Amino acid sequence: MIWNEYHECMDRQRLTELQGERLRDMVERIYFNVPFYRNKLQEMGIEPGDIRSVEDLKKLPFTTKQDLRDNYPFGLFAVPQHDVVRLHASSGTTGKSTVVGYTHNDILMWSEVVARSLTMAGVTRDDIIQVAYGYGLFTGGLGLHYGAEKIGASVIPISGGNTKKQLQLLEDFGSTAIACTPSYAAYLGEAIAEEKLDRSKIKLKAGIFGAEPWTEEMRTQIQQLLGLKAYDIYGLSEVIGPGVSMECGFQHGMHVFEDHFIPEIIDPETCEVLPYGTLGELVFTTVTKEAMPLLRYRTRDLTRLHVETCECGRTLVRMEKCVGRSDDMLIIRGVNVFPSQVESVLLEMSETKPHYLLVVDRENNLDTLEIQVEVEEQFFSDEVKELEGLRKRISGNLTSLLGLHASVRLVEPGTIERSMGKAQRVVDKRKLK
């Protein structure tokens, strides 16, 4: 099923023309309504009339998260406040949070892209969907909610947390779909196993998981635990929220809704635009958003784009699962390390689960990496040589994948904090010194 065949399967030539028209309109709107962008464009000697097609996108300036912070809270809004019907904010780990605004049309557009996304996961009006993303300033809950309602599915706005209630409703209401973070999905799956719930009462067939990085191994684990097909949804509040791109049933990457969000891949160092199939930083231009349009917004997510038409018939480009955020990327002794790499090693090993913490430190001017891994109850041996052997195997696998020595410390089960939202997997003590 395709929600909007006209836009999702559009001939790419026609799509490029549509993007060009929308880009021209957008540049005009921000030039006249957002002083920040007008100043930037004027500095570069660009006038709205200079932008005629998508080809001209590369002449335009980038927008960064810092620009959003500098213009906190409403400095980048392109409409008067009375046209803004919704505000969301993302939690800032450092300093101010970033605020995003939506007009009524923006909410409609967002519902549309989420409806397309849910349809890709096979969700229809006959489904009961448990939205276990947080409702509130975070875009996850309300984003999925509006899209699911647009489809006509029955929405359970349970929000995040409260695992007991989640399990009860899964059983009592017979929810057929669930949307939450992948780490919470794994947590729920483990809770089902622990509580020894009657699996025949769990009717889940599709899971829509996003808002944090996860691996293929984690997908397999969640699918086994919850007995559903797990789909990857991508989004960021600055661009719209969840629903910027989504996996179809063939799962060859996430289709980007290019009629609303124009993606580019750039070299994060030189900012040069890279061709399809090349790894680089993902950049979005929101051509239809009214309240807070963003020009070439640097997501910091590292991925590749593929343009070949998908088996599902959609012509929209597919983005690979992000290999990491350049924010999350740790540079340890000159080597790039992503927490997701550690996770994939632990998931591949049958004796470990992905409960881990990276501790980076500096001793005598040399970076050190310690990875704490929980001892799994069933693999706990009371012989030192067995545990030492396990520790060495984990360390060896990590060292060969990361290309950097990683020492492993075994810790007691349940001592590494389970994240209910975005996973916090790194303690970088170097920054504190």
Partner 1 sequence: MIIRQLSVFLENRAGRLTELTGILADNDINISAFSIADTTDFGILRVITGKPELAEKVLKERGFAVKITDVIGIVMRNKPGALHHALQILTDNGISIEYMYAFASGDDRATAVIRTDSPKKAIEVLQLHKMELLKTGDVYQI
Strand partners, 241: 236
Given Zn ion, partner 1, none, residue 432, with its beta carbon under 5 to 8 Å by kind, binds none
SS3 state of residue 157: coil
Confirm or reject binding of residue 418 to partner 1 (CB under 8 A): no
Min dist. Cβ of residue 257 to partner 1 (A): 45
Given partner 1, Zn ion, none, residue 248, with its beta carbon under 5 to 8 Å by kind, binds Zn ion
Positive/negative CA dihedral, 164, 165, 167, 172: positive
Which segments of 190-344 are extended strands (E)?
A: 206-209, 229-236, 241-247, 254-256, 261-266, 280-286, 297-303, 305-306, 318-319, 324-325, 330-332, 335-337
> Site mask, partner 1, residues 355-394, x = CB under 8 A?
--------------------xxx--xxxxx--xx--x---
Min dist. Cβ of residue 407 to partner 1 (A): 9
Contact (Cβ atoms closer than 8 angstroms) between residue 191 and residue 160: no
Given partner 1, Zn ion, none, residue 312, with its beta carbon under 5 to 8 Å by kind, binds Zn ion
Given partner 1, Zn ion, none, residue 413, with its beta carbon under 5 to 8 Å by kind, binds partner 1
Min dist. Cβ of residue 111 to Zn ion (A): 21
The DSSP secondary-structure symbol of 125 reads: T
Looking at the Cβ atoms of 120 and 375, the one nearer to partner 1 is 375
Looking at the Cβ atoms of 103 and 352, the one nearer to partner 1 is 352
Min dist. Cβ of residue 7 to Zn ion (A): 14
Q: Listing from the earlier edge strand, what are the strands of the sheet with 297-303? A: 261-266, 280-286, 297-303, 324-325
Other CB atoms closer than 10 Å to residue 16's CB: what's the count?
15
Q: How far apart are CA 74 and CA 147, in angstroms?
A: 26
Min dist. Cβ of residue 183 to partner 1 (A): 19
Confirm or reject binding of residue 414 to partner 1 (CB under 8 A): yes
Confirm or reject binding of residue 195 to partner 1 (CB under 8 A): no
Looking at the Cβ atoms of 105 and 372, the one nearer to partner 1 is 372
Confirm or reject binding of residue 272 to partner 1 (CB under 8 A): no
Stretch that binds partner 1, among 121-129, 304-312, 332-340, 411-419 (CB under 8 A): 411-419
Cis-peptide into 263, omega within 30 deg = no
Q: How far apart are CA 127 and CA 338, in angstroms?
A: 37
Which residues would be at the binding site for partner 1 (CB under 8 A)?
A: 375-377, 380-384, 387-388, 391, 409-415
